[in-house]
Amino acid sequence: MDPSAQWKELNKKYYKFHQFNPITGEQKNLDFYYQHIAIAKWGGPLAATKNYDQVILMRTDEILKDSIVFFSNSGKIMSRIVYKETDKIPLFDFLDDEHLILLKGTGIYYIIDPFKGTKKNHDLGEQFKQNPIQRALVVNNGFVLMTMNYEFYYVNNAHEPEVQQFKASQLTKQPEHWSIIPSQKSSSGKVELLIANPEGGILHIVENEKWKIYYNKDKIMNDIDKKLPDLRNIKMLSLSPTYKTLALLQYYGQRWIIAFIQNYFESSEYRQMPVDLKEEDVQKEESAEKDLSILERPRNMYWCGDDCVVLQLQQYIVLVSNDSYTKIKMSNQHFSLRSEFDGLRVLTQKKNEILRKLPDSYINVFEQLSIKPGAQLYSAYESFESKSPIEDDELRSSKQLLSEAVSDCIKCAQFEINPEYQIKLLKAGNYGKIFLGTQNLDPNIFNETARYLRVVNSLRRSGGVGGRVITYEQVLQLIKIPDIMIGLLLKYNLHYLATEISSFLKFQIKQRASIYTHWACCKVEIQQDDDKLCEIIKEKIKEERGVSFTQIAQKSIEIGKQSLALKLLNNEQILAKRIPVLIWMANFQSTNNNSYYEKALEDAIISKDSNLIYFVILKFLQTEMNETYKFNALSQNPISQAHLDYYLKHFDNKYLQKYLQYFKKFDECGLFAINQAYQQKNLEEKIKFLDQAQKYFGEDPTDKFYKRIIAEQIIILTDLKSEVEKIRKKPNQHIMDEKPINSIMEAFFIKDKPEFAKEFAKTYKIPDRRILLTKVKTLINNKKWDELDKIMSEKNKKSILIPYELVAELLMKADQEERGIQIIMKMPDVEESCRTLIKIGQQSSAVQVAINNKKYQLLYDIKGLISENQAKALLETHLSQNQK
pLDDT tens figures, 727-783: 444 444 444 444 455 666 666 666 666 666 665 666 556 777 777 778 888 888 888
**What are 64-97's pLDDT values in tens digits?**
888 999 999 989 999 999 999 989 999 999 999 9
Kindly state whether residue 757 falls inside one of the protein's structural domains: no
Query: Are residues 508 and 546 in contact, defined by beta-carbon separation less than 8 angstroms?
Result: no
Give the least confident one: 103-117, 502-516, 625-639: 625-639
Assess contact for 235 and 251: CB atoms under 8 A. yes
Q: Is the pLDDT of residue 159 over 60?
A: yes
Cα 64 to Cα 671: distance, rounded to the nearest angstrom = 74
3-state class (DSSP) for residue 312 = strand
Res 561: pLDDT = 82
Confidence of residue 589 (pLDDT cuts 50, 70, 90): low
Q: What pLDDT is stored for residue 653 in this prediction?
A: 67
- Cβ neighbours around 26 below 10 Å, total: 13
For the stretch 178-195, what's the b/e string if a residue is b when 16 or more beta carbons lie within 10 angstroms of its beta carbon?
A: bbbbbeebeeeeebbbbb
- For residue 261, list its beta bridge partners: 246
Rounded Cα–Cα distance for residues 562 and 590 (Å): 13
Mean pLDDT on 94-110: 95
Q: Quick check: 772 and 804 in contact, CB under 8 A?
A: no
pLDDT value at position 732?
A: 44
Q: Strand, coil or helix: what is 261?
A: strand
pLDDT score for 735:
40
In a domain, 106, yes or no: no
Q: Which of 198-207, 614-623, 648-657 has the highest mean pLDDT?
A: 198-207
Share of the chain above pLDDT 90, in %: 31
Question: What are residue 487's DSSP bridge partners?
Answer: none
Q: Using 50, 70 and 90 to split pLDDT, how confident is the model at 416? A: very high
**30 with 65: CB under 8 angstroms?**
no
pLDDT of residue 548: 75
End residue of a domain, out of 406, 422, 443: 443
Report the distance separating Cα 298 and Cα 296, nearest Å: 6
Give the β-pairing of 335-340 and 77-82.
Answer: unpaired
The total of other beta-carbon atoms located within 10 Å of residue 295's CB is: 12
d(CA 13, CA 198): 35
With residue 687 as reference, give the H or E element that holds it.
helix 683-698
Spatial contact of 486 and 500, defined as CB atoms under 8 Å apart:
no
Q: Measure the CA–CA gap between 336 and 126, rounded to whole angstroms.
A: 34
Residue that wins the pLDDT comparison between 332 and 654: 332
Between CA 789 and CA 807 the distance in angstroms is: 11
The answer to whether position 62 is within a domain reads: no
The domain boundary, picked from 443, 467, 494, lies at 443
Pair 604, 618: CB distance under 8 Å: no
At 13 the three-state DSSP class reads: strand
Task: Provide the mean pLDDT of the chain.
Answer: 82
Burial class, 768, CB count within 10 angstroms (exposed 0-12 / middle 13-18 / buried 19+): exposed
DSSP string computed for 759-822: HHHHHTT--HHHHHHHHHHHHHHTT-HHHHHHHHHHHTSSS-SS-HHHHHHHHHHTT-HHHHHH
Judge contact between 102 and 89, C-beta under 8 A. Answer: yes
Contact 729, 735 (CB under 8 A): yes
- On whether residue 331 sits in a domain, the answer given is no
Q: Which of 405, 424, 443 is the last residue of a domain?
A: 443
Beta bridge partners of 356: 16
Closest CA to 400 of 369, 432, 358, 360: 432
> HEC profile for 473-489?
HHHHHHHCCHHHHHHHH
- C-alpha distances in angstroms, 668 versus 645, 648, 662, 673, 694? 12, 13, 12, 8, 12
pTM for the model: 0.70
- Residue 201 in any domain: the answer is no
Beta bridge partners of 80: 69
Q: Report the range out of 9-13, 535-539, 562-566, 641-645 with the highest average pLDDT.
A: 9-13
Residue 813 lies in a domain: no
Q: What number of CA atoms fall less than 13 Å from residue 576's CA on the CB side?
A: 4
The percentage of residues in the chain with a pLDDT greater than 70, rounded to a whole number, is: 82
Q: pLDDT tens digits for 283-310?
A: 766 665 567 777 788 999 999 988 899 9
What's the CA gap between 374 and 361, in Å, rounded? Answer: 8
Strands 133-139 and 142-147: antiparallel
Give the span between the Cα atoms of 254 and 866, in whole angstroms.
102
537, amino acid identity? I
Domain extent at residue 386: 359-443
**Burial call 444-471: b when 16+ CB within 10 Å, e when fewer:** ebbeebeebbebbebbbbebebbbbbbb
- Given a cut of 60, whether residue 462 has pLDDT beyond it is no
Q: What secondary structure letter does DSSP report for 281?
A: T
DSSP 461: G
* Domain-embedded: residue 78: no
Element (H, E) at 339: strand 335-340
Q: Is residue 108 part of a domain?
A: no
pLDDT tops 50 at residue 868: yes
Q: Determine the average pLDDT of the residues in 101-109.
A: 96
Higher pLDDT among residues 359 and 825, named by residue: 359
Looking at the structure of the chain, the number of domains it has is 2
Distance (Å, whole) CA 613 – CA 811: 53
Looking at this protein, which amino acid is placed at residue 31? D
Q: How far apart are CA 134 and CA 515, in angstroms?
A: 40
Determine the average pLDDT of the residues in 553-581: 77
d(CA 690, CA 672): 10
CA distance 666 to 724: 33
